[in-house]
Amino acid sequence: MARMGDRVYREQFDEDPGGWYGWISNAGGPKPLEWQPGQLISRSPWWIDYNHAPPGAGYMHMVFSLATVGPQGEVFTEAGGTNRFIADRCPTDFTNASLTLRARGELVTQGSQFVLLIQGSVEGITSGWLCTGQPFDVTDSWSEDTIVLDANPANWTALGVRHDRADMYGVKPLDHVLSDVNVNIMLVLFPLDVAAMGPLDGDPHILRPERDYPVWQHRLPEGYVTLNEVRIDFS
């Protein structure tokens, strides 16, 4: 269950996924993850999120996702169950919060890192920041890993936006987003080595991988990650 007290969010997945979900694609939307009491599991293959292709930061796999502000539509509730972060009115000011994962898994990362993504809407634009300076380690044994979400730009990478999505995504100041993470948080694998399989007629970053052209799957991460607990201690 999730417990909110003294400005602490704690999800241990005792009852259901607690609002956490996976992602099919832009068109497909959210999907349920594997759940059993005390564990939430995400397995490859994962969709290649191309919304932030160059000139944005690049491609990523969305492994776990949680909305931070409601209300949620039925499709999200069906995929992730009751979102207790929203139900318990947890803060959206993540400035100097500490986030702890208790997790295990087996990952062939192919050069990617398992990192936190925060997203907030500022002036109608969704701005994402990846905490690339503090990646999480995933091993085949249970372990806890804690990061502190300060506003030091050296710890973060702005997600940016591909050529045709600037109506929705963009880069807003880190401290603004961190102080009001009013869209979602995710655990993602970034960056990805996306390579076209065979000749390509066009710019690979203007075209969409897996939708407009096939890619070499062996160059992408594979495996699984199991979450046992997510804890956020708000400053």
| Tens of pLDDT, residues 149-182 | 999 999 999 999 999 999 999 999 999 999 999 9
Q: In 3-state terms, what secondary structure has residue 148? A: strand
- Quick one: pLDDT at residue 1? 47
Per residue in 1-20, pLDDT tens? 444 455 899 999 999 999 99
Q: Which helix (H) or strand (E) holds 60?
A: strand 60-67
Which residues constitute the domain of residue 221? 2-233
Which residues lie closer than 8 Å to 79 by C-beta, 6 or more apart?
Answer: 21, 22, 29, 30, 31, 32
Residue 35 has pLDDT above 70, yes or no: yes
pLDDT of residue 142: 97
Mean pLDDT across the stretch 110-125?
Answer: 97
Token output for 37: 């009491």
Three-class SS state of 87? helix
Q: Which residue has the higher pLDDT, 194 or 71?
A: 194
pLDDT reading at 72 higher than 90 = no
Q: State how far the alpha carbon of 230 is from the alpha carbons of 84, 91, 104, 154, 227, in Å.
A: 12, 15, 12, 24, 7
**Count: domains in the chain:** 1
Which pLDDT does position 6 carry in this prediction? 59
pLDDT tens by residue, 174-233:
999 999 999 999 999 999 999 999 999 999 999 999 999 999 999 999 999 999 999 999
Q: Residue 37: is its pLDDT beyond 70?
A: yes
User: What percentage of the chain has pLDDT greater than the value 70?
Assistant: 97
Q: What is the mean pLDDT of residues 114-130?
A: 98
* pLDDT exceeds 80 at position 28: yes
